[in-house]
Structure 1
Amino acid sequence: MGTIKNTLWKQKLDQLLHKFFSGETMNYKQIIAIIIPIVVDQGFLVIMSLLNTAMISSSGVAAVSAVSMVDSLNIFLINVFVAIATGGTVIVAQYKGSGNQERVARSASQTISAVTGLSLIITACILAFHTPILNGLFGQAEEAVFQNAKLYLIGSCLSYPLIAMFQAINGVLRGMAETKTCLALSLIMNITYLLLNVLLVVWLDMGVMGLIISMLISRALGMATSLYYLTRINHSLQFKLKQLLHLDRSILAKIMFIGFPFALEQMFFNGGKLLTQTFIVKLGTAAMTINAISGSISMVFQIVGSALSIAIVTVVGQCIGRKNIKDARKFIKSLLGLSTVVFILVGIVLMPFFSYIVAIFSPPKEIISSIYALTLLIVFAQPFLWSLSFVLPAALRAAGDSRFTSVTSLISMWLFRIIFGYILGITLGFGLMGVWIAMVAEWGIRGAIFGWRFRGEKWYQHKII
């Protein structure tokens, strides 16, 4: 009897998955094979972030605040590399879908060249102007926080070319649907980072300097292993290092058509976040700590959503490469629905364990209630607003609709998250809660605009390849 029930359950599940996640371009098994490694990778990255924040907490509030501040700038810059790499992912995925292997290989080399070159320029600029940058962003921070931030920024900056090349190679592999390889490379780099942090930060109590050493070694290893895979193990691309020196303007133009607007979006979008950080600095070190811990916890709830926003680029890109708009629409709707359901389930499962999660960071008791309030806000808002605001634009971008998504994101960010956040948080005195309410409101407005765009036809009418 039990065997019959299991068989019926499997048949119903198979029918459900086939209905929503299978089409002419790919079937549900292929889509699951793309998604699962990315979910595992994102989950590991978030857990790593939580553990690293917890480990640096042992070095004091000043160290936590400094790392949080500079990581905002790091995210701002690394997302620029990721944006250009995403341009490569889209082009590689579309050529892969069209069956043009020669163009896939050329797109791969051009993506790596573009991202690495950009990272070297940014590294030189940050090293030259790190002091005025920190003064402009965090000049009102306490002296101990500022000095830790200066040390951490210089150390982080030296690792930019390493992480940029790693991200570029992973972007290429995702476009080819080799997400298992991306997961393996990510695990090698991040497990190394974790183990070195345990050694240097926890056992040897090296604080911020320990984080820097761990970061440089692990990212160098990540870059080296990814290059080794591309040159020695992956035979489909026939990739050689000398190809990085040969620039193909036509391919670069296609990559930048997608990547450049997205890079500008990331610069202004994360620049807005940095500006928001300056609001929070005015609220004091306690508010900065609450924001850092709450932000880390929110990342736990966003693991699957973030993974789907990455996976959907490969799925939609290959559909568009085959000129199958019907499949693209179907998979976008299905993945948006999946994201919403998962957000609800994650909130139900994790909120009862909030006290255990927040304990990882060892926060002062007086700020725990504030962290809980911010977490509760996003738990209720994410299922209905986050997917439309982040997963859907990734899909539109995969179809070549990069300019519209970028302009929309920039306008909504600056009009609502920044201006509205300042009014609520500072002018009206709602503090950190006001800043976060403005952020959630911006999700809703941006998501509504993207939903309207998706219902039309212009988003898939761009001819990229």
Structure 2
Amino acid sequence: MQVSERGKSFLTRHLSGKSMDYRQIIALFLPILIDQAFIVGLNLVNTAMISSSGMAAVSAVNMVDSLNIFLINVFVAVATGGTVVVAQYKGSGNQEMVAKAAASSVTSVTLLSLVIGLLFVAFHNPVLNVLFGSAEPDVLNSARTYLIGSCISYAGIGVVQAVCGALRGIGKTRASLMLSLIMNLTYVLLNIVFITWLNMGVYGMTLAVNIARYAGAACALFYLFKIDVSLRIKVWNLFHFPISMLRKILFIGLPFAAEQMFFNGGKLLTQTFIVSLGTNAIATNAISSSLAGFFQVPAAALSLTVVTVVGQCIGSGDIPDARKFIRSFLWFGSGLLFITGLVLMPFFHPLVNLFSPPAEIVGDIFLIVLICTIVSVLLWPVSFITPSALRAAGDSKFTSITSMLTMWLFRVILGYLLGIVFGFGILGVWVAMMAEWGVRGAIFLWRYRGTKWYEHKLI
């Protein structure tokens, strides 16, 4: 990538330090950006494909995906703990401990994902009845099929997330990208076959997700054992790992997992009162979420990149660099969100037409996406990039408690008041969510300006 002298000067001033320079950061960021763009873009395509089976199918997939996000993020949180520990050991130059941390992360995440999947397969009926019992019968039947299929696939995605997290920790984001692309492209191609060609609907989607995730897991393990030359992990390393290493991973992972459970539990509760607003409201929320996620891809890539960058800075003991990079990432995050919104909003109608929505909900979707795009520029980076950076420094308890409290006090309670009690419907739910971004972002900025966030001794 060619950069002008003025561009080099700008990047050196904002994205270079003693720990790493802008070339290394860009090399970390670009594969993660491509990965996130593919994941969100392919999810967009998947939602559009399932919409051909009707709004009931879209609603069922969206309802269960809110539960999937809740469950998957529990073991992804533990994988993030592995990423932080691996990154800090990488920064300290201790290669032997890097390998041990990576092996421990893969084992713990795989076991956790397997247990969660089996548990929810066993209790899928009471879970669906409690959360979505008020949904229409055809929506609930499709949701049951999709939930069982999704839970069976958890061990597969757990392996992929753990391996990719370890690779990001040592800065090998290209390998992480390739593994993620294999899994997600397989998923989309199979969806084309099962949904578009064979008209298998939700059942086809569940079949596709299982084949794709276990194929991805097989590729991830093959890469780890046969191709990778940095970590040097052998099969038997996964069956023997020190308890002290597991404690380090869980020190970051467990508070984050608890945060994800409460945070996504709140989103799940929000989903339950969206269900009470009817199938059109569920579809509006699903399509708006897909589009908003697509607009936030570059900033989301920064929030993943900052974990490796700050983790390695803290591992090498360079606090000034960590502070500088966090500040730069926040500004770049806002800039990227502004540019993305400016480029994509004019294409709103072609994008929304991918979902074939009823004409009466298109106006609501446009209003939600427009407001969200404007607010994201100001509030998304401080609300999501900052806690990722603090967590990379070992400040996991504070970030988790803050996220849990603001989620329940603002997104859930305020969302219920605005959406249901005061009758603003789905727009009220989204306004409450954006208010929560602002509150927790302000708290995280206050924490960043202090010193406690980098005083934890993780390694």
TM-score, structure 2 normalization: 0.99
Equivalence for 2:214: 220
Equivalence for 2:125: 131
Deviates more, 1:300-309 or 1:139-148: 300-309
Shift of 1:85: 0.3
Q: Measure the CA separation in 2 of the matches of 1:174 and 1:10.
A: 28
| Matching residue within 383, 394, 398 for 1:400 | 394
Shift of 1:191: 1.1
Q: Is contact 2:391–2:399 with CA below 8 Å preserved after alignment? A: yes
| Matching residue within 75, 80, 83 for 1:86 | 80
Q: Measure the CA separation in 2 of the matches of 1:335 and 1:247.
A: 35
Instruction: Write the deviation string for residues 318-350 of structure 1: whole angstroms up to 9, x where unpaired.
Output: 000000000000000111110000111111111
1:43-442 matches, within 5 Å, as 43-442=37-436
Report the residue type matching 1:388 in the other structure: V
Report the residue type matching 2:231 in the other structure: L
Residue ranges of structure 2 left out of the alignment (5+ in a row):
none
Q: Is contact 2:90–2:170 with CA below 8 Å preserved after alignment? A: yes
**Percent of aligned pairs with the same residue?**
57
Shift of 1:247: 3.0
Q: Measure the CA separation in 2 of the matches of 1:180 and 1:292.
A: 31
Q: Measure the CA separation in 2 of the matches of 1:241 and 1:389.
A: 39
Q: Is contact 2:100–2:241 with CA below 8 Å preserved after alignment? A: no
Instruction: Write the deviation string for residues 142-182 of structure 1: whole angstroms up to 9, x where unpaired.
Output: 00000000010000010000100110000100001000001
Q: Is contact 2:33–2:298 with CA below 8 Å preserved after alignment? A: yes
Q: Measure the CA separation in 2 of the matches of 1:194 and 1:124.
A: 25
Shift of 1:194: 1.0
Equivalence for 2:17: 23
Q: Measure the CA separation in 2 of the matches of 1:197 and 1:208.
A: 10
Residue ranges of structure 1 left out of the alignment (5+ in a row):
1-6
Structure 1 stretches of 4+ moved >6 Å? none
**Secondary structure at the counterpart of residue 356 of structure 1:** helix
Q: Measure the CA separation in 2 of the matches of 1:53 and 1:117.
A: 30
Q: Measure the CA separation in 1 of the matches of 2:226 and 2:75.
A: 24
Q: How many residues align?
A: 458
Shift of 1:124: 1.9
TM-score, structure 1 normalization: 0.98
**Secondary structure at the counterpart of residue 167 of structure 1:** helix
Q: Measure the CA separation in 2 of the matches of 1:53 and 1:238.
A: 39
**Secondary structure at the counterpart of residue 360 of structure 1:** helix
**Secondary structure at the counterpart of residue 355 of structure 2:** coil
| Matching residue within 6, 30, 33 for 1:12 | 6
Q: Is contact 2:81–2:250 with CA below 8 Å preserved after alignment? A: yes
